[in-house]
Every structure is written in C-alpha cells, then in structure tokens.
Amino acid sequence: ETGVTQTPRHLVMGMTNKKSLKCEQHLGHNAMYWYKQSAKKPLELMFVYSLEERVENNSVPSRFSPECPNSSHLFLHLHTLQPEDSALYLCASSQYGPNTEAFFGQGTRLTVV
Amino acid sequence: EDKVVQSPLSLVVHEGDTVTLNCSYEVTNFRSLLWYKQEKKAPTFLFMLTSSGIEKKSGRLSSILDKKELSSILNITATQTGDSAIYLCAVNSGGYQKVTFGIGTKLQVIP
C-alpha cells in the first residue's frame, strides 16, 4: 500500500452517468496530480494542484472536472464521458518545486460503456 | 513540444541476464530525469538524475544521465523474475511536476 490511496479501484460507467474518483495522500505533500494512462500511450498529465490552487490544466475536456478541497484530498468528477476516456487514471503527490519525485496511487481502471 | 522516447519497447530476457534500457529526450527546460517501475498499476520511483555523468545505484539497478547526448540508461544486472515490469522514463521541465513521460519499456524476465 502506497502513501497515496485511490478509490474506487475499478469503475464501469455509462456515457450519461456522473461519477467521481477520489484520491488521498498521507505523505504531507503540497502538490497533487491527475494522470491518464491509456493503452500504448505515455502517461498524460491532466491537472496539477499546488497548495490547493490549480497550476496546470493540459487542455483537458470539460467533462473532466477536478476538485482539491485541501492538500490531502483530490477528486476528479466525471460526466458524459466517451468510450475513448476508458483508461487508467492515476493520482500522484509530491512536494511542490523542481526536482522532486512523485508518489503514485494504485489508480482507477475506468471503463466507459 | 517536449518529447521522451524509450527503447526498446519490450524485452524478454532470462534470469541472470543483464539488461540496458534507453531513454532519450527533447525538452525546452531540462530540470531532471526520473525512472519509475510500474508492476501492476502504481509507478514506483527508482532514480532521479540531474547531473551528467554521475551514476545513481540501488542494488542491482543503476542509471546514468548524459546531458550532451540528451539521454539516460537504466541497467539491471543479474535480473530476477521480480524485475518484470514496465520501466518508465520521465523528464521534469518545470517548477512543479511538469513531467513528460515516455511510453515505457516492458521487461519480462523468464526463469
């Protein structure tokens, strides 16, 4: 078990559903991230929060909506997703600043049907 | 656009072999290069390299950065089945974790 916990581990949702992914870190870090990992593609950075402020948004479609209520919790709200959004969604945390390594959660395997 | 390329994409070796995984990069503002091991889902951190020519070592794993060649290698000696995983290379080019990942090298170690 890592210091970053994600729930749920697996999620199947229809295109009209609304669901949320949750991430919690117990490492005292002040930056949190959402990554998307699709088959045969590199990890893609979706959102970065530092000190609960969003500092990066890599042109992610608005059907993905992040929320960071405090430095330990991060959510990814999902609505009206497409089948191509099926992927592994990984949360990570780190200390904010250059040259720090990220600690990843186990991920949520999302399937959109 | 920042780019990280890893090779080979996949590799099958026998236990006891030595392997070398390659990573090359093109980024606008290099800060550091990181290696991660991804066994099932969560990538776990292996090394961070910032200075050229200085080897980082942990047990049977070692890595070195060549800033002139814009590349890094990850060596694993005396491989074991537990080394089977996807090895990810990433480059940090920002003040926070502005990190570009490669697609990974899938290593399979067979008994």
Whether the predicted pLDDT of A2 surpasses 80: no
Provide the 3-class DSSP secondary structure of residue A50: strand
Which tens digit of pLDDT belongs to each residue from B15-51? 999 999 999 999 988 999 999 999 988 999 999 999 8
DSSP code string of B71-94: EEEEEE-S--GGG-EEEEEEEE-S
User: Least CB-CB distance to B42: which of A40, A100, A104?
Assistant: A104
How far is Cα of residue B78 from the mean position of the Cα atoms in its chain? 17
List, in sequence order, every beta strand (DSSP E) within chain B.
3-7, 10-14, 19-26, 32-38, 43-49, 56-58, 61-66, 71-76, 85-92, 99-101, 105-110
| A41·B103 Cβ contact <8 A | yes
| B32·A98 Cβ contact <8 A | yes
Preferred mutation among B97, B100, B103, B105 to probe A, highest tally of A CBs within 10 A: B97
Four-point Cα dihedral B35, A36, A103, A47, nearest 10: 120
Whether the predicted pLDDT of A1 surpasses 60: no
From A71's Cα to the closest Cα of chain B, the distance in A is 15
| A40·B103 Cβ contact <8 A | yes
Say if residues B97 and A102 touch (Cβ distance below 8 Å). yes
Residue A59 or A103, more confident: A103
Q: What is the pLDDT of residue B54?
A: 85
From A67's Cα to the closest Cα of chain B, the distance in A is 18
In Å, the largest CA–CA distance within chain A is 40
Q: How far apart are CA A75 and CA A69, in angstroms?
A: 8
User: Least CB-CB distance to B101: which of A43, A96, A109?
Assistant: A43
The confidence band for A51, taking pLDDT boundaries of 50, 70 and 90, is confident
Q: What is the pLDDT of residue A96?
A: 80
Residue B49's closest chain A neighbor by CA?
A99
| B99·A48 Cβ contact <8 A | no
* Average pLDDT rounded to a whole number, residues A2-10: 92
